[in-house]
């Protein structure tokens, strides 16, 4: 009986973990869906978000740094889109792959040169430290706060993409960019905004996870692979596919960590393999003419 | 075309000519030059700069660089400057390739460094084959001093048994072993496995009750599942055999989850302590050296290091620093750069100042450098200075004990030099 409670708690923990995966995978997914760009630098922007909150907390306090850091990462994302990424939308996907891979290495090495290879000291702010306890279930308050922020960000993104005129253009752009252009709507500013949003979400993940995992230059690489797995499992272009995949990945990883820890990282890839055998386009993946 | 408009091309061309001449001479002459021992002494330094051991590698480079600068400023070795070649060792395959290139192409006189035991073994094989000295500064695996030991490799890093016995003494003193239920979390690679083996052996010998051991992948950064498991199992003691960034993250999250089970570990580095920070550092840990070590030479070293690099030295900086100092001393004393003569000197029970209260020495039969170790824990004084949120214990072993009590005996870890 006690065993069942343990397992349930691990499942709940897995669902919470799923939201962190979701936050970073969502940005990756929308940039990929609209621009056809596999952003290998996504993890590097996540790292920049983490470094920004550490750096800015000292200057302007945690609260302001919490707001400013993801916004700054988003602006940086828009600058990168304007200067570089927009050249790749109609090019061979291999080029954008190479470019973003190079960019991720430049950013990682840049962080290493500026801040050093050692993890920076950063902890949960005092006001958020403590445990939330209900019966047998307990969880750190900070992580519950993270969950709230993650849910708000994901819900906000969903509303933006589904309930606004902007969202309609994005959706139309994903399905048939040429027709959107023929209607006289320029996709360029939309793409810039989407990149800003997606990369800003990566920055937000970095801000949220900075007090939990070590803030060090290679932190982006660690999370990027998991984010890709989520996008691939979820299926291209599907918002709910990514949501479902993130939860699934979180729970599977949580349960493997409990029953067989050595396979906790490998479980993601096994899951991906199994799902791709059954559903090659991912769980809820749609068919895209231009990507077939 | 009577007069050139500018005289610039002329010196340019002349420089080019001179340069080519010098290059040609360099190409033709190296054998002669080396025979005369006139060039600089070359030391090849290999250590991980990226990946989960990267933070420690950074300190290794700071330490080795400072030592070379000091030796050169004092006139070098046997009248020759030391030239340092330093590279990222990446993984065992790359480490082996780079070590071989350093020895065969760059003609280094000795190899220094490494942190990963697997890469260390790869470099040691190159050292053995090419009869080049290898001062190993960060590999903990007992096996490197036992089954895989070799005559050309010297160990400045303590081995896993030394770490386990250091923390074991502290745990025995605090009554944390006999009859206590303990859980282990272990880095899932050679180092972690070896460390767990030693921890298990120690706990079994002293009456600890083993509950479970979880092998955690080295790329895992988030440990909530393991921490929930600790809460559920309610052991009396949790022992970490984790490595590198894993230790930082696990320690931080242990604190985040407010787990009240006593926490100890068998391997700790200053980079992990600083990474966890004042709010995140918890538990009791063994360590080979900290900036708080109470010895005049240590204090002096800390001051010089801070002046040079504008930060405190970590334990890894000390090993790589000492490797150069010991090599320089051995070469000066033997008036030779011949590996065989240096090996005989290092095996002759000669004492070295190791920036600790007591001098240390290499054991001739396994080349392990024996020295005082310490345990570290959070400072109960919450108002201590920014970098003093941890405290360093008195040296282990105590002043009246032999330095060799921590290291495995010949029976426990047999080493035969071929």
Averaged pLDDT, B173-183: 94
Query: What single DSSP character describes residue A120?
Result: B
Which residue among A13, A120, A261 places its CB closest to the CB of B215? A261
- Min mean pLDDT across A119-128, B133-142, B287-296 is at A119-128
If we measure between CA atoms, which residue out of B215, B263, B216 comes closest to residue B235? B263
pLDDT tens figures, A202-231: 999 999 999 998 899 989 987 898 899 999
pLDDT at residue B133 is higher than 90: yes
Q: What is the CB neighbour count within 10 angstroms for residue B101? A: 15
Each domain of chain A, given as residue ranges in start order, spans: 2-291
pLDDT of B3: 43
Calculate mean pLDDT across residues B200-221.
Answer: 93
pLDDT in tens, A23-71: 999 999 989 888 888 899 999 999 999 999 999 999 999 999 999 999 9
Measured distance between the N- and C-terminal CA atoms of chain A, rounded to whole angstroms: 50
> A197 with A42: CB under 8 angstroms?
no
State ipTM: 0.86
| pLDDT confidence of residue A287 | 63
**Residues A189, B285: Cα–Cα separation, whole Å:** 55
CATH 3.40.50.2300 fits B37-158+294-372, yes or no: yes
- pTM score, whole prediction: 0.83
CA distance A225 to B371: 42
Interface of B with A (CB under 8 A): 49-52, 54-55, 57-59, 188, 214-217, 219-222, 224-226, 228-229, 231-232, 245, 248-249, 252-253, 255-258, 271-272, 274-280, 314
Number of CB atoms found within 10 A of residue B109's CB: 22
- pLDDT recorded at residue A289: 52
CA terminus-to-terminus distance, chain B: 73
Q: Which of B55, B186, B253, B316 best probes binding to A when mutated, by most A CB atoms within 10 angstroms?
A: B55
For domain B161-287+373-405, the CATH class is alpha beta
The answer on pLDDT for B158 being more than 80 is yes
Instruction: Find the CB nearest A222 among B219, B276, B280.
Output: B219
Q: How far is B221 from chain A (nearest CA, A)?
A: 6
Q: What are phi and psi of B384, to 5 degrees?
A: -65, 165
> Which whole number is the average pLDDT over B180-184?
97
The whole-angstrom separation of Cα B107 and Cα B3 is: 48
Residues B373-391: pLDDT tens digits?
Answer: 999 999 998 888 778 899 9
Cα–Cα distance for residue pair A69/A122, rounded to 1 Å: 15
For residue B331, give Cα distances in angstroms to A116, B26, B137, B266, B336: 34, 26, 19, 35, 5
Count the neighbouring beta carbons within 10 Å of the beta carbon of residue B265. 26
Order of all β-strands in the sheet with B181-187: B209-216, B181-187, B237-241, B263-265
A252 band by pLDDT with thresholds 50, 70 and 90 = very high
Mean pLDDT of chain B: 90
pLDDT at B154: 98
Give the residues across from A140 on adjacent strands: A131
Residue-wise pLDDT tens digits, A258-276:
889 999 889 999 999 999 9
Query: Is A123 within 8 Å of B252 when comparing Cβ atoms?
Result: yes
Q: What percent of chain B has pLDDT over 70?
A: 91
B32 pLDDT higher than 60:
no
Chain B residues with beta carbon closer than 8 angstroms to that of A2: 232
pLDDT in the model for residue A93:
84
C-alpha to C-alpha distance for A195 and A174, rounded to whole angstroms: 14
At what angle are helices A165-175 and A141-163 packed, to 10 degrees? 80
Closest residue in A to B61 (Cα) is: A117
Domain boundaries, chain B: 37-158+294-372, 161-287+373-405
CA distance B227 to B254: 7
Least CB–CB distance from B228: residue in A9, A211, A261: A9
**Domains B37-158+294-372 and B161-287+373-405 alike in fold:** yes
DSSP state, B257? Answer: T
Tell me what pLDDT residue A133 has. 84
How much is the pLDDT for A221? 86
Separation between Cα atoms, residue B152 and residue B125, nearest integer Å: 9
Provide the CA A111 distance to its chain's centre, in angstroms: 20
């Amino acid at each position: 009986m006690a065993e069942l409670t343990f397992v349930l708690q691990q499942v709940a923990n897995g669902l919470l973990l799923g939201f962190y995966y979701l936050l970073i995978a969502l940005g990756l997914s929308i940039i990929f869906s609209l621009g056809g760009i596999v952003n290998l630098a996504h993890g590097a922007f996540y790292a920049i978000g983490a470094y920004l909150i550490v750096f800015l907390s000292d200057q302007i306090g945690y609260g302001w740094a919490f707001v400013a850091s993801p916004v700054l990462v988003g602006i940086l994302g828009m600058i990168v889109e304007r200067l570089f990424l927009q050249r790749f939308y109609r090019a061979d996907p291999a080029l954008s792959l190479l470019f973003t891979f190079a960019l991720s290495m430049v950013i990682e090495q840049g962080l290493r040169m500026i801040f050093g290879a050692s993890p920076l000291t950063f902890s949960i702010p005092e006001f958020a430290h403590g445990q939330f306890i209900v019966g047998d279930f307990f969880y750190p308050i900070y992580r519950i706060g993270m969950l709230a922020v993650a849910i708000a960000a994901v819900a906000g993104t969903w509303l933006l993409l589904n309930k606004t005129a902007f969202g309609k253009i994005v959706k139309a752009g994903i399905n048939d960019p040429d027709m959107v252009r023929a209607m006289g709507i320029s996709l360029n500013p939309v793409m810039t905004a989407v990149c800003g949003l997606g990369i800003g979400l990566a920055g937000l993940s970095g801000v949220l996870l900075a007090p939990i995992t070590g803030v060090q230059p290679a932190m982006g690489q660690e999370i990027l692979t998991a984010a890709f797995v989520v996008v691939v499992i979820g299926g291209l272009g599907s918002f709910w596919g990514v949501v479902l995949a993130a939860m699934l990945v979180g729970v599977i990883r949580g349960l493997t960590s409990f029953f067989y820890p050595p396979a906790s990282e490998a479980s993601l890839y096994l899951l991906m393999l199994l799902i791709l055998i059954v559903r090659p386009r991912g769980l809820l993946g749609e068919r895209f003419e231009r990507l077939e | 075309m009577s007069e050139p408009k500018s005289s610039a091309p002329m010196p340019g061309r002349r420089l080019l000519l001179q340069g080519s001449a010098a290059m040609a001479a360099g190409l033709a002459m190296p054998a002669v030059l080396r025979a005369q021992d006139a060039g600089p002494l070359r030391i090849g330094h290999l250590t991980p700069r990226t990946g989960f051991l990267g933070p420690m590698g950074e300190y290794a480079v700071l330490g080795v660089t400072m030592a070379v600068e000091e030796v050169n400023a004092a006139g070098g070795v046997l009248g020759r400057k030391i030239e340092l070649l330093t590279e990222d060792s990446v993984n065992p395959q790359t480490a082996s390739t780079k070590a071989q290139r350093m020895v065969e192409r760059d003609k280094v006189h000795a190899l220094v460094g490494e942190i990963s035991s697997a890469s260390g073994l790869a470099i040691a094989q190159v050292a053995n084959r090419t009869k080049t000295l290898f001062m190993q500064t960060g590999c903990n695996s007992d096996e490197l001093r036992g089954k895989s030991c070799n005559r050309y490799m010297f160990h400045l890093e303590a081995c896993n048994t030394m770490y386990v016995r250091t923390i074991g003494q502290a745990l025995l003193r605090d009554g944390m072993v006999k009859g206590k239920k303990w859980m282990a979390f272990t880095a899932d690679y050679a180092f972690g496995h070896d460390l767990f083996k030693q921890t298990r052996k120690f706990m079994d010998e002293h009456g600890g009750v083993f509950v479970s051991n979880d092998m955690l992948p080295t790329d895992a950064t988030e440990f909530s599942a393991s921490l929930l498991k600790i809460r559920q199992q309610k052991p009396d003691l949790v022992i970490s055999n984790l490595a590198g960034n894993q230790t930082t993250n696990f320690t931080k999250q242990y604190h985040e989850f407010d787990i009240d089970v006593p926490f100890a570990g068998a391997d700790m580095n200053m980079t992990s302590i600083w990474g966890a920070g004042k709010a995140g550092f918890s538990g009791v840990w063994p360590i080979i050296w900290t900036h708080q070590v109470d010895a005049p030479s240590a204090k002096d070293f800390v001051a010089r290091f801070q002046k040079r690099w504008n930060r405190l030295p970590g334990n890894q900086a000390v090993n790589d620093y000492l490797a150069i100092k010991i090599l320089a001393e051995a070469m000066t004393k033997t008036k030779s750069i011949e590996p065989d003569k240096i090996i005989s000197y290092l095996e002759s029970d000669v004492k070295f100042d190791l920036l600790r209260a007591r001098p240390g020495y290499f054991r001739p039969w396994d080349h392990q450098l024996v020295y005082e170790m310490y345990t570290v824990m959070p400072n109960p004084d919450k108002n201590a200075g920014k970098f003093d949120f941890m405290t360093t214990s008195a040296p282990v072993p105590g002043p009246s004990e032999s330095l060799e009590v921590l290291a495995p005996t010949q029976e426990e870890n047999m080493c035969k030099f071929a």
